[in-house]
Amino acid sequence: MKQILQHLGNGTTEIADIPCPSVKPGHLLIRSTVSLLSVGTERMLLEFGKASLINKARQQPDKVRMVLDKIKTDGLLPAITTIRNKLDQPIPMGYCNAGIVLEVGKGVEGFKVGDRVASNGKHAEVTMVSKHLCARIPDTVSDEHATFTVMSAIALQGIRLAAPTLGESVVVTGLGLIGLLTVQLLRAQGCRVLGLDFDQDKLRLARAFGVDTVDLSIGQDPLMTAQEFSRQRGVDAVIITASTQSNEPIHQAAQMCRKRGRIVLVGVAGLELSRADFFEKELTFQVSCSYGPGRYDPAYEEAGQDYPVGYVRWTEQRNFEAILDMLADKRLQTDRLITHRFAFENATDAYALVSDGRFSLGILLEYPSAKQSPELPLREQTLRLHVEKPHTVAPPSGVVIGFIGSGNYASQVLIPAFKATGAMLQTVASSLGVSGVHAGRKYGFYKITTDATEIFNDTAINTAVITTRHDNHAHMVCEALNAGKHVFVEKPLAITPAQLDEIIIAYQQTRTHENPPLLMVGFNRRFAPQIQKMQMLLQGVSEPKVFVMTVNAGMIPSQHWTQDRDIGGGRIIGEACHFIDLLRYLAGAEVVNRGAMILGPNAGYGIRDDKMTITLQFAEGSMGTVHYLANGHKSFPKERLEVFCAGRILQLDNFRRLRGYGWPKFTSMTLWRQDKGQKACAQSFVNAVSQGQPSPISFTELIEVSRLSLALANPL
């Protein structure tokens, strides 16, 4: 299928070939018929992409601060690499879609195949959307009109926050597409509306909808007009739908309002507020969040947990339904808002129109119908690249890799690490296809798919690298082992004891094979050059050691998937396992006793299991502590390891600088850039596969560290 991608690095827009996504539980697979460009949002992305690095930084000062913090801790080169990788990744465009349901995911009720639906789907021939971001289109509403559902819901949510009542006077600042939808919804609610804009075409449309207007382009005074419009009382509310960096719209809104008036920001404006403006009138100011309650809540949008209607009457999905009802009743008119139509294959012309700044409002992209394009591969799962040099089955000693997952860590770290080994990159699988296409092009994969089973079934592939979300690891490890593939899985190996037991059974069953597959977890830190140096130095010390590992992990919001016990397993299972393995490796002995103390659990302040001290005692007498802390400052090194033994000390800061105190012939080892051992880890695994050697980390150690992590995540 085809999908529109935007490249933030250089501002180019392309219609890319993408493998069709597979429907996930709680989602719908939708074949697009029409989609609507969001001129404001998509123009902003185009302009950002075309801007220089300096101007990009000026537009995102918060990101600049993050980069400066990374330079302090990791060094300049890693920070530059991170920036380039971020800008190198294309993003899918669009969020106003109408189409037909192709497939219904598990757990979805109220929708069936063949339903026409409005959604926030992308500009793509086939798109996958959460059930709570979809609404059925009434029979009397065309697909063209239904594409305005999401934009109208943005306007409606702003109105709900302003809470106007029948007869109130409301000013709408900015008469773009959302502004013109806002004025219609306000009029339908019985409000008197005054619209402000510089564009005479937009003002003319607003007047056609029964709105009084102020033409700012000819110097009409909005304050005086608003005062007269409100019968000298001040307006009841102002809704700002403009997009500007200026502080003037909010200052102006405050001057227009009556005492205890309401101001709602739907668009973008400068937020340097004047206390005097708000203090004297006791004004209320609020920023509206997109389509309504549920937006950006993973529990609602991804997990499918609805808000009870008795407590949250208007969720984003119910806002969609309200808009579609108004379209069905002709109380919301969108015909006059459509200014351009483009065939989907000519979408780049639509973006040229947006970039040029010519007058436009509703720009529709029309997709080929099944009758017009019966050859459209609606359910094609695989996309082939580089067909002029097709891959062939590798010789027995070769390593042919299928990558499952192509997220940030995979595309920025693991895939290039495995490519550097000389292994053959055959297939990359990603759930939505976009990141897979990017990785496929960049690193030279032969195939791109959204169906991981293709990797398990491909006899040319002898090695699977699994980098998906943590809840999928155990299942995919078992699938790969059962298919006879060597497996490299990014940590953790499993997030529950039951999953770990399943892996043990699957692994043991493969031991009867003539060439049993290897299993490896990406515990890369033990392969880092400075850790290798430490291990070499410690080999000359026979007495027990004391290890102190301090991890300044940083705060991650509770809504992040890694914090979800059912998906990420929590940060102890998902990340602290790295440091348990590291100490286990340096001690060179089994853990015979362990303990943990967690900050809380009743300490308040959003305490979770990411603030923990772990204690380990090893069979040869050494002991270690891992302080895994998410309540530190970013300027402090993220990872610091100290080893005390025989009157000597080793101190490693952030895998860049290793210092020795009291060590004969060793004082320091400093690297130009951070090296956590990812490349060496990948190379070691590939060497083991190609040479028929045992896994670089024994299965016994992998299971030991995994069991420890699972047990320590629940210390109480």
Summarised one tens digit per residue, pLDDT across range 313-354 is: 999 999 999 999 999 999 999 999 999 999 999 999 999 898
Q: How far apart are CA 145 and CA 157, in angstroms?
A: 19
Question: At the fourth CATH level, which superfamily is domain 382-518?
Answer: NAD(P)-binding Rossmann-like Domain (3.40.50.720)
User: Alpha-carbon torsion 222, 228, 230, 234, what sign?
Assistant: positive
DSSP helix/strand/coil, 253: helix
**Domain 152-287 is found in CATH 3.40.50.720:** yes
What is the reported pLDDT for 95? 93
User: Three-state DSSP class for 64?
Assistant: helix
Name the DSSP class of 352: H
- Of 48-57, 123-132, 262-271, 302-311, the poorest mean pLDDT is in 48-57
3-state DSSP: the chain helix, strand, coil percent, rounded to 5? 35, 25, 40
Measure CA 20 to chain center: 19
Q: Is 28 exposed, middle or buried (0-12, 13-18, 19+ CB in 10 A)?
A: buried
Res 386: pLDDT: 45
Return the domain boundaries, the chain: 2-148+297-366, 152-287, 382-518, 525-712
Q: Which residues pair with 7 in a beta bridge?
A: 90
**pLDDT tier for residue 39 given thresholds of 50, 70 and 90:** confident
Residue 185 main-chain phi, psi, to 5 deg:
-65, -40
Q: What is the pLDDT of residue 672?
A: 87
Q: What is the pLDDT of residues 638-697, one digit of tens each?
A: 999 999 999 999 999 999 999 999 999 999 999 988 999 999 999 999 999 999 999 999
Question: d(Cα 495, Cα 497) in Å, to the nearest integer?
Answer: 7
With bands split at pLDDT 50, 70 and 90, how would you rate the model's confidence at 375?
A: very low
Q: Is the per-residue pLDDT at 389 higher than 60?
A: no
Please check the confidence at residue 204 and state whether its pLDDT lies above 50. Answer: yes
As separate numbers, helices (DSSP H) first and strands (DSSP E) second, the chain gives 25, 31
Task: In whole angstroms, give the CA distance from residue 55 to residue 121.
Answer: 30
Is there a shared CATH topology between the 2-148+297-366 domain and the 382-518 domain? no
**Residue 705 scores a pLDDT above 70:** yes
DSSP assignment of 666-680 equals --EEE-SS---SHHH
Residue 307 binned pLDDT confidence (cut-offs 50, 70, 90)? very high
pLDDT at 64 > cutoff 80:
no
- Per cent of the chain over pLDDT 70 is 88
pLDDT tens digits along 67-111: 666 666 666 666 666 666 666 778 899 999 999 999 999 999 999
- The angle, 0 to 180 degrees and rounded to 10, between the axes of the packed helices 473-482 and 497-509 is 10
The Cα 496–Cα 127 span in angstroms is 32
Q: Quick one: fold of 525-712?
A: Dihydrodipicolinate Reductase; domain 2 (3.30.360)
* Residues 560, 557: Cα–Cα separation, whole Å: 6
Mean of all residue pLDDT scores within the chain: 90
Which CATH number is correct for 2-148+297-366, 3.90.180.10, 3.40.630.30, 3.60.40.10, 3.40.50.920?
A: 3.90.180.10
Contacts of 108 (CB under 8 A, 6+ apart): 25, 26, 27, 28, 131, 304
Q: What is the pLDDT of residue 13?
A: 87
Name the pLDDT band for 540 (thresholds 50, 70, 90).
Answer: confident
Comparing CA positions, the residue from 229, 231, 234, 202 lying closest to residue 215 is 202
Residue 193 vs residue 65, higher pLDDT:
193
Tell whether the model's pLDDT for residue 374 goes beyond 60.
Answer: no
pLDDT score for 432: 86
The per-residue pLDDT for 355 is: 83
Helix (H, G, I), strand (E, B) or coil at 467: coil
Indicate whether 394 pLDDT > 70. no
What integer is the mean pLDDT of 11-18?
87
Contact 295, 307 (CB under 8 A): no
Note the pLDDT tens digit of each residue in 603-628: 444 445 789 999 999 999 999 999 99
What would the mean pLDDT of 508-522 be, rounded to a whole number? 92
Average pLDDT (696-714) is 94
163 by DSSP, 3-state: which?
coil
Mean pLDDT of all residues in 561-587 = 92
pLDDT at position 189:
93
**Taking Cα atoms as reference points, which of 289, 244, 243 lies closest to residue 264?**
289
Q: What is the mean pLDDT of residues 107-124?
A: 95
- SS3 state of residue 273: coil
SS3 assignment, position 610? coil
